[in-house]
Chains A and B, each alone.
Chain A
């Protein structure tokens, strides 16, 4: 069954990709959506069987992949609770988005290619979450990166899309560079890359040290930090976040599937999967908390100023991922996974809803040119409300359960970094509510700011796009309520079983269930309401206010609008200097120095020497005779000295 879940998308991708012309657009859509729905249904059955009913399933080994020296790695499907949670989330979201794409991409000339890429991506994602060793994890990891690259650059005739896709791939590679080094460090310590072997040995390795770049480190700490660099790349955490907003160049279903619901959460999944190592590396966990919390706030501040509807949601994703990371960092892995799951639903809903808006507005993405849409597309409007309520963490919606749990765990961790994360998280929660309602008000309320032509064409999306939205909206409302007991509540021990490891002294979720000060559970709700109120004030009651504030705090506004100038900084430090160095090495190093002194110089010198030698050939006998005499004298002297010595 698990094999079908994982490989059905691959087969569908191959059929749609290679025989797209043969089976036509409709055929490709049927094949990929059919395979994906099958996969989703089976994944949910697996989820119920393994996670809820508690049936253990052995790891399925397919065949040996690499066998060199002590390094033995299999292609395998690991089916514990953590895997099946991810499998269910990924395949359900993916199925919904496959169906949605049928409507959204209906005017595109290369539908089979698009559907094929989506299915291909899902295959890699499923390989990633079911891996039983570091190398297969890396395989899925780079594979989803590849599909992300292909899908961001799907409209390959746009220069901006091409630039964004390359940026995504390369920034991810920077992360993978760390990830790979982390894998090597793990192999060096444990002599194996199988999860079980490594996890069993981890407690014994707690005191070992490892020399890395000339510095003696605590071995587990440095390995975990290196691995976490990979997670920072994939999950768009500071300072490797720059690719995610640009990735919005891809079609909207891609943003929903890859850059919100699934791929970008792979980093969080990785930290949870490796909890048996991270638990013994407290310093590495502190780094995770710091990075996560800082990103949560940073991305929220930038989200407040963006005007592109998709970019706002992209920064929101970045920020929410930060929440998940600091949850994992305070050992509340269950809470991190819980938020990952609920976030997948409501963020995919928000993206697809905004896709629905863009579709209605004939491709317009700038919120400054929207407004007054709610009467024209009421269903989309309602769905966007559900998504925003869930995102802001308003009670009974999914985000309320998961996000509050994260903030409470951060408080209950009773550590300096925990406090840091809590307060930054609270502030970010305020900003989250603010930018969410800013988006709603700017898009749907007020006077229409689009031209008459566009407004005339505004229409509600077809059923094939709305039905997936209903599925996701259902999740955005109920996933929190339904999952609370299992993910972070009383049932969590039987739910997660061996798939997560939390040392008793680190158990922040346990602490969060007992004796929190009254304001800790209350505060997230209060700031969310405050955020909504401020948004109402700024964009409904007094529409002139935002411009006035932006004018007064001009420097700050520019700083936020330009995303803290990360792109400009990186461009100057890395991109341009790489090209300049490359050119310099080529012309200066290869051309002038190596060739100049080497072959070309030698050739010139040979010609010169030959010319000088020819001058020696004067033709006078006594010149030659003199040379011979000198030569003989030198030789005899050398010979005598040598035999004497």
Chain B
């Protein structure tokens, strides 16, 4: 059974079904919601089969499907996952039903189109992580932008058009350079097959150019400082579920790209540019943490905190040792879940009071105790308290980074302090204190639907914190393989270096 294709394209089928359902406005909305929910749930349970059936000992691509597509150019429909992509697929399929459920009541305008957009988005996300052919990958990778652009631009806040365009142009600009690099790779290897390109030894000079082209695309997606300014705007204007997917999955595409492409294909360039990346990462951690401290808008604060957390990820990826890479991967998964949850948490109070202004709240612990508990757990995960998912990633990244550079590690570790400062400060202003306003006092606690949304996330955050082996194990062989190859390439280059000097 072609399970990968099934997981990838089933949401699209759901979208088609929603499209052809008729009836009056209310029935259409009702049907669209339940079809979207059921489709995404079925996809999630199907995708769990990938985890159960995954051979955790093997670094190879699994569940591989390959059909010739345009044979004259060596382009194929080639899908497969390894330990690096497995959990990103699961993250996408996990968050989509949660998003559908979170939009159940808050979206009342053009529900049908909204649900279609989310299901199409799911197909694109899963496809991005499964594609093993550059053409396919590029189609999915860019395809993500369209539904996301619409979600922000149609269902967003007052400045949605500005934000949607900023988001679209920024990410597209980066991607165009990547397209050029993909063409160059095609000319070099004679194929668009990703596994082939991963084995190919590119010339050192060419590596740098290609690395930079890929970097342009992934750094924007990540986003890294200083190309991060689209993110706060996009988050603020996006509807809650849009923010969840944006923070939860879309940002991870940048990190996935670095691990999947930049590091194995361009090991020498990765080493050459490592200090550059470290510098940007550390700036991201400190700079955006400080900016987060000064925010008065809840969503902006969390958006900036995302940039800081992604700083840890890029640091971990380019230290390119086992601890750092596993930490970076884990940090991405953890951040996907936690920041998604934090945006949902903002969404809960936004649905009730229709403002994200922190000062409008305060004292919610009194009338919303369940909400306070969920918020507390997520806040602790965000500050990386041991026992939650956030700790494992940050800790491993820093352990790995310390072996490469104590300076960058010490500077990045200040993020532990600053992160605690802005999150605790946010929590205090929203949840603690006394209630001074009447409209805040009458806000009801979490509804059953909202509890159903949060329960799996809380469970997952604790599971990842207490028994992370379930997640670390399957990614280990693929990453070990990657580290080995990067080191081998760097050793070979070192061995070559004296001889090239001599030949001059």
> Which residue of the partner chain B has the closest CB to A140?
B386
Partner of A159, one of B395, B433, B466: B433
Q: State which of B36-44, B120-128, B205-213, B408-416 sits at the interface with chain A.
A: B408-416
Judge whether B292 is part of the interface by a CB distance below 8 angstroms: yes
A-B contact pairs, 5 of them (CB 8 A): A67-B476, A142-B385, A177-B414, A183-B399, A579-B294
**Assuming the A-B contacts A177-B417, A211-B406, A213-B410, are A138 and B386 also in contact, with contact meaning beta carbons closer than 8 angstroms in the complex?**
yes
Apart from A65-B468, A181-B413, A598-B229, what 12 extra A-B contacts exist at CB < 8 Å? A67-B472, A71-B399, A153-B428, A156-B431, A156-B432, A157-B366, A173-B420, A180-B398, A180-B413, A578-B293, A578-B421, A599-B170
Asked if A594 contacts B229 (CB within 8 A), the reply is: yes
Q: Residues of A at under 8 Å CB distance from B?
A: 63-71, 135, 138-139, 142-143, 146, 149, 153, 156-157, 159, 162, 166, 169-170, 173-174, 176-177, 180-181, 183-185, 187-188, 211-214, 578-579, 581-583, 585-586, 589-590, 594-595, 598-599
Q: Is the pair A142, B290 in contact by a Cβ cutoff of 8 Å?
A: no
Q: Is the C-beta of B396 less than 8 angstroms from some C-beta in chain A?
A: yes
Residues of A within 8 A of B327 (CB): 68
Closest to B384 in A: A142
| CB-CB under 8 A for A177 and B416, given A156-B365, A578-B293 | yes
Chain B positions within 8 Å of A213 at CB level: 406-407, 410
Task: Verify if B169 is at the interface (C-beta below 8 Å from A).
Answer: yes
Q: Which of B287, B295, B424 contacts A166 (CB 8 A)?
A: B424
Residue of A at shortest CB range from B326? Answer: A68
| Contact across chains for B403 and A188 when beta carbons are under 8 A apart | yes
Within 8 A of A (CB), among B448-492: 466-469, 472-473, 476
- What is the chain B residue whose CB lies nearest that of A113? B369
Chain A interface, >50% SS class:
helix
B230, A143: Cβ atoms under 8 Å?
no
B402 interfacial contact with A, CB 8 Å:
yes
Interchain CB contact (< 8 A) of A582 among B291, B399, B468: B291
Tell me which residues across on chain B come within 8 A of A67, comparing CB atoms: 469, 472-473, 476
Are the C-beta atoms of B323 and A582 separated by less than 8 Å? Answer: no
Residue pair A181, B417 in contact (C-beta under 8 Å): no
**Closest CB of chain B to A633's CB: distance in Å?**
29
Instruction: Determine the residue in chain B with the shortest Cβ distance to A597.
Output: B226
In contact, A139 and B326 (Cβ under 8 angstroms) = no
Residue contact B472 to A68, C-beta cutoff 8 Å: yes
- Chain A: minimal CB distance from B326 (Å): 4
Q: How far is the CA of A71 from the CA of B395 in the complex (A)?
A: 11
Residues from chain A with a CB closer than 8 A to the CB of B323 are: 68-71
Contact in complex: A69, B413 (CB < 8 Å): no
Q: Are B365 and A599 in contact (CB under 8 A)?
A: no
**Does B74 reach chain A (CB closer than 8 Å)?**
no
Tell me the smallest distance from the CB of A76 to a CB of chain B, in Å. Answer: 14
Q: Is B425 an interface residue (CB 8 A)?
A: yes
For residue B260, CB closer than 8 A to chain A, the reply is no
Contact A212 B406 (CB under 8 A): yes
A475 to B: closest C-beta gap in Å: 32
Given A169-B420, A211-B406, A213-B406, A66–B472 Cβ distance below 8 Å? Answer: yes
Q: Is the CB of A63 within 8 A of B413?
A: no
Chain B positions within 8 Å of A582 at CB level: 290-294
Q: Which residue of B lies closest to A124 (CB)?
A: B387
Interface class of chain B by DSSP: helix
Contact A139 B387 (CB under 8 A): yes
Asked whether any CB of chain A lies closer than 8 Å to the CB of B447, the reply is: no
Collect the chain A residues with CB atoms within 8 Å of residue B295's CB.
586
Interface: B310 (CB within 8 A): no
Check B402–A71 contact: CB distance below 8 A.
Answer: no
List B contacts of A585 (CB < 8 A).
287, 290-291, 294
Please indicate the chain A residues that have their CB under 8 angstroms from the CB of B428 in the complex.
Answer: 153, 162, 166
Determine if B392 is an interface residue (Cβ-Cβ < 8 Å).
yes
Q: How far, in angstroms, from A174 to B417 measured CA to CA in the complex? A: 6
Query: Do residues B416 and A180 form an inter-chain contact, with CB atoms below 8 A?
Result: yes
B417 / chain A contacts, CB cutoff of 8 Å? 170, 173-174, 177
User: Most chain-B Cβ atoms within 10 A of its Cβ — which of A66, A180, A188?
Assistant: A66
B321 within 8 A of A: yes
Residues B294 and A65 in contact, CB atoms below 8 Å apart: no
Are B385 and A146 within 8 A (Cβ)? yes
- A-B CB proximity, top 10 nearest: A69-B322, A582-B294, A184-B402, A582-B290, A139-B386, A156-B432, A582-B293, A68-B326, A583-B294, A586-B291
Interface assignment of B4: CB less than 8 Å from any CB of chain A? no
**Whole-angstrom distance between the alpha carbons of A555 and B468 in the complex?**
57
The answer on a CB contact under 8 Å between B416 and A599 is no
Contact B469 A176 (CB under 8 A): no
Counting CB contacts under 8 A, is B166 at the interface? yes
B363 interfacial by beta-carbon distance below 8 Å: yes
User: Do A68 and B386 touch across chains, with their CB atoms under 8 A apart?
Assistant: no
A546 to chain B, nearest CB (A): 38
CA distance A180 to B413 in the complex (A): 8
B189 close to A (CB within 8 Å): no
Residues on B with C-beta less than 8 A from A598 are: 226-227, 229
A599–B417 Cα distance when bound, in Å, is 32
User: How far is it, in angstroms, between the C-alpha of A188 and the C-alpha of B403 when the chains are bound?
Assistant: 6
Of A170, A213, A590, most buried by chain B (CB within 10 Å of CB) is: A590
**A516 CA / B468 CA spacing, docked (Å):** 55
Among residues of B, the one whose C-beta sits closest to the C-beta of A176 is B416
- Quote the shortest CB–CB distance from A284 to chain B (angstroms): 17
B169 to chain A, nearest CB (A): 7
- Of chain B, the residue at the smallest CB distance from A64 is B469
Chain A residues near B414 (CB-CB < 8 A): 177
**B434 at interface by CB-CB < 8 Å:** yes
Distance A65 CA – B473 CA, assembled complex (angstroms): 11
Interfacial chain A residues near B468, Cβ < 8 Å:
65-66
Cα distance, A581 to B293, chains bound together (Å): 9
Cβ-based interface call for B380 (8 A) = yes
* Contact A177:B413 (CB < 8 A) given known A162-B433, A166-B428, A184-B399: yes
Q: B387 to chain A: closest CB distance in Å?
A: 6
Q: Of A68, A162, A169, A594, which is within 8 A of B322 by CB?
A: A68
A residues near B392, Cβ cutoff 8 Å = 66
Contact at B321–A69, with CB atoms within 8 Å?
yes
Please give, as numbers and ranges, the residues of chain B lying within 8 Å of A176 by CB-CB distance.
416
A604–chain B nearest beta-carbon distance, Å: 13
B466 / chain A contacts, CB cutoff of 8 Å: 65
Smallest Cβ distance from B425 to chain A, in angstroms? 7
B155-175 with Cβ < 8 A to chain A? 166, 169-170
Q: Which of B227, B387, B400, B466 is most buried by chain A, counting CB atoms within 10 A of its CB?
A: B387
Which residue of A63, A138, A173, A594 is within 8 Å of B226 (Cβ)?
Answer: A594
Nearest chain-B residue to A211 (Cβ)? B406
Output the least CB separation between A500 and chain B (Å).
26
Which chain B residues lie closer than 8 Å to A180 at the CB level?
Answer: 395, 398, 413, 416
Looking at A159, A176, A212, A589, the one whose CB has the most chain B CB atoms below 10 A away is A589
| A187-B433 contact in complex given A212-B406, A585-B290, C-beta closer than 8 Å | no
* CA of A570 to CA of B324, assembled, Å: 34
Q: A143 vs B388: C-alpha distance in the bound complex, in angstroms?
A: 11
